[in-house]
Amino acid sequence: MTENLPIVITGAGGFLGRSLVEVMSAVRPVRASDRCSLSGDGVMGDVADPEFADRLLAGAGGLVISHMLSRAPGAYDHPKAPLEVNSAATATLFEAAVRAGCRKVVLISSTSVVDAHVRKGTFLETSLPFSPGDIYGLSKTLQEQIAAYYHHRHGIAVAILRPAYVTDEDSMTDKYGRHKETVNWQFIDRRDIATAALAALDLPDLGLETFFISGHPECETHMDIASTKARLHWEPRYTFTSFPKDN
């Protein structure tokens, strides 16, 4: 990635997006985008609109896709809106990236794409088949398949990050404002997702690669995080070890 070109971050006004902007803007130029809730120099617009996506990606050195339909009550009861916002808009962004010559993308996915394996207690490896358990997971699965298509069809380098429970260690709250008193192996701080995304963008030989990421040390017995750490030269800063574990 060319360091003087901006990183485009979608969903930049959200819980995760704000941390992506904060962490990445400290070391790279950033072009933050969201449909609402932006401050400063952010670019407001709908990434599902091809014309807006083209303007957004013009001159970009990298793209981080972190937008998603809100998990408000009822939002995922029917597939129409989730697939339009999460999945179809992702394809629109990839198309814009192709036209703009933006060659590196980080897709913020989720362990929800392998939900059945998580529930069974299967050790999570990137070779596991998709097994989404709900429409949200389906939309993230389609995002990953879209990313694979644009890698194979157009040669775009893609890092797919699969976090589980995204929260903030300082406040122990998640994007819905829910406060947690105990933790488990799935916890990851949103700032650690940002540093993993940066590390992926910096890989000179990035292909199409999937990375499970978590912060708690016990994740090592549940997922292949060793490969993530080795490949990205990444370690989570926030490990949640000062909090009691779930029963």
pLDDT at residue 38 is higher than 80: no
Alpha-carbon torsion (144, 146, 149, 155), positive or negative: negative
pLDDT at residue 1 is higher than 60: no
Return the H-helix or E-strand segment holding 64: strand 62-65
pTM above 0.75, yes or no: yes
Contact yes or no for 213/161 (Cβ under 8 A): yes
Classify domain 7-232 at the CATH class level: alpha beta
Q: What is the pLDDT of residues 151-193, one digit of tens each?
A: 999 999 999 999 999 999 999 998 888 999 999 999 999 999 9
What pLDDT, on a 0 to 100 scale, did the predictor assign at position 70? 84
HSE on the CB side for 44, CA within 13 Å? Answer: 6
Q: What is the pLDDT of residues 103-147, one digit of tens each?
A: 999 999 999 999 999 999 999 999 999 999 999 999 999 999 999
Provide the pLDDT confidence category of residue 25 given band limits of 50, 70 and 90.
very high
Nearest 10 degrees: Cα torsion 130, 135, 137, 143: 80
DSSP code, position 50: H
pLDDT at residue 2 is higher than 70: no
For 76-111, the three-class secondary structure string (H helix, E strand, C coil) is CCCCHHHHHHHHHHHHHHHHHHHHHCCCEEEEECCH
Distance between CA 109 and CA 148 in Å, rounded?
Answer: 13
Share of the chain above pLDDT 90, in %: 89
Distance between CA 235 and CA 208 in Å, rounded?
Answer: 21
Structural domain spans, the chain: 7-232
What does R_g of the chain's alpha carbons equal in angstroms? 17
Distance between CA 62 and CA 97 in Å, rounded?
Answer: 9
Q: What is the pLDDT of residues 60-74, one digit of tens each?
A: 999 999 999 987 888
